[in-house]
Amino acid sequence: MQQKKFRRQENSFFVEGAKNVTELLRSEYEITHLLFTETFEIENISLIKRCGAEKYKVTQKVLESAGSFQSNDAALAVAKIKENEPLKLEKPELILALDDVRDPGNLGTIIRIADWYGLNKIICSPQCADIYNPKVLNSSMGSFTRMNYFYTELHKFLENCNKPIFGAFLEGDNIYESELPADAVIVMGNESKGISPEIEKLISHKLTIPQFGQAESLNVAIATAVICDNFRRFQWKK
């Protein structure tokens, strides 16, 4: 299940480590298998009892041989992948849309950032990293369980979206001086190429984060955090 083709073949994914497994146990995901150590059992007995999966108490050595972590003295769980279904958009709410974000670590960090700022819907282009990639899940630190995802042709989604569409560009309006509504789509682009020309045509408001130093650009996850923070800060001050 470390490879996408086998995850899709089995319609399942796995997470490991105390944080991700406990978050998964508290979520609505259907868990099919749970492996845990005695230490994890003592600390999470009530969560384990409520779980309807096949359960196995194992040693740390078994956990480490079954998963990808070099060190895991807690647990590993296998769960079913959720259906890729269109998301119902509410008003007002902020939605993240990712245009070809391919690095699993970046995607996982973006999920964690979205969770922190209270965004719970992410639209991904087909070229984005798979959210069930172990590196994505590990980077999200459990936040993946509170997020809703939809992989689709991004231009079609944006063409039919009735929210203002904001995008991150090097040449945009200063985000510090911009009106940032509580109801909008925030588009973030590819790590090296940014937002594609096809998607750029659909952006109604181009934003930039002011530069004070000499760095050529910001990491897409860091830029996402700055932009989300400014959207929330603007609403906080109103």
Domains of the chain: 4-80 (3.30.1330.30), 94-237 (3.40.1280.10)
In this prediction, residue 67 carries a pLDDT of 84
CA 24 to CA 77: how far, in whole Å? 8
Which tokens sit at 33? 């298998």
Cα–Cα distance for residue pair 123/165, rounded to 1 Å: 13
Q: What is the pLDDT of residue 237?
A: 83
Kindly give the parts of the chain with pLDDT less than 70.
Answer: 238
Token output for 50: 């409520």
Q: What is the pTM of this model?
A: 0.94
**Which residues make Cβ contacts (< 8 Å) with residue 134, sequence separation at least 6?**
1, 2, 13, 14, 15, 16, 68
Half-sphere exposure of 179 (CA within 13 A, CB side): 4
Phi, psi of 188 (to 5 degrees): -120, 140
